[in-house]
Amino acid sequence: MSQDHLREVTCGLQQDGKLTKRWFNCQSADLFAWHDDKELVRFEFCYDKHRNEHALTWQRNTGFTHARVDDGEGPASRKSSPILIVDRNIDSDYIYIQFKELSDKVDFEIRLFIMRKLLGIVVDY
């Protein structure tokens, strides 16, 4: 089991209109979770941060999207802003295992909700 665990960044709690955003971070991944007063409405799990970063996003109204993170680094000396590029190659088993191993310190309700969603990944483009 990995020694790397997602832990909440407490200064990352933000109000965005009626949604509250929470940020969980570790060396190899980030988890962003947005919720209203009742439930989780969106999450983004960014994994393999230092190798080949990808982001899996789920939204209540639209479902899943999967993207590769282009960090903006290039051969030129100028750095561009990171952007998400659609990536249809998704290894749902790998993502589930990564999340499960990294998320044991994440609030139980959030962790359980996300793990259930990850078991039924269907990406629509």
Convert the pLDDT of each residue in 66-82 to its tens digit.
999 987 666 665 677 77
pLDDT of residue 54: 96
Q: How many domains does the chain have?
A: 1
Give the predicted TM-score (pTM) of the model.
Answer: 0.85
Range of the domain at 44: 7-70+82-119
| CA atoms within 13 Å, Cβ hemisphere of 86 | 6
Split at pLDDT 50, 70, 90, the class of 4 is confident
Split at pLDDT 50, 70, 90, the class of 57 is very high
Domain-located, residue 30: yes
**Cα distance between residue 116 and residue 113, in whole Å:** 5
- The rounded mean pLDDT for the chain is 87
Residue 6 has pLDDT above 70, yes or no: yes
| Backbone phi and psi for residue 51, each to the nearest 5 degrees, phi listed first | -120, -65
Residue 3 has pLDDT above 80, yes or no: no
Domain-located, residue 25: yes
pLDDT of residue 89: 87
User: CA dist 24 to 1, 13, 14, Å?
Assistant: 19, 10, 13
**Cα distance between residue 13 and residue 78, in whole Å:** 31
Residue 14 has pLDDT above 70, yes or no: no
Q: Which residue has the tokens 């940020």?
A: 23
Domain-located, residue 1: no
Q: What is the length of the chain?
A: 125
pLDDT of residue 1: 44
- The four Cα atoms 11, 65, 95, 108 give a dihedral, to 10 degrees, of 50
